[in-house]
Amino acid sequence: MQAMVDKDKCIGCGLCPTICTQVFGMGEDGKAEVMCEGLGEEVQDSAQEARDGCPVDAISIEA
Ligand code: F3S
What ipTM was assigned to the predicted interfaces of this complex? 0.98
State which CATH number among 3.30.930.10, 3.40.50.10490, 3.30.70.20, 1.10.10.10 fits the domain covering 2-62. 3.30.70.20
User: According to the model, what pLDDT value does residue 27 have?
Assistant: 98
Residue 47 CA, ligand 1 centroid: distance in Å: 12
Report residues whose beta carbon is within 6 angstroms of any ligand 1 atom. 5, 10-16, 32, 54-56, 58-59
Q: For the segment 5-56, what is each residue's pLDDT rounded down to a tens digit?
A: 999 999 999 999 999 999 999 999 999 999 999 999 999 999 999 999 999 9
Instruction: Give me Rg for the CA atoms of the chain.
Output: 10
User: According to the model, what pLDDT value does residue 35 have?
Assistant: 97
- How many angstroms separate the Cα of 57 from the Cα of each of 41, 42, 43, 60? 22, 22, 19, 8
**Atom 4 in ligand 1: residue holding the nearest Cα:** 10
User: According to the model, what pLDDT value does residue 3 have?
Assistant: 98
**Atom 2 in ligand 1: residue holding the nearest Cα:** 54
The domains of the chain are located at: 2-62
Polymer length in residues for the chain? 63
* Contact predicate 4/60, CB 8 Å: yes
SS3 26: strand
User: According to the model, what pLDDT value does residue 18 have?
Assistant: 98
Amino acid at position 21, single letter? T
* Contact predicate 31/12, CB 8 Å: yes
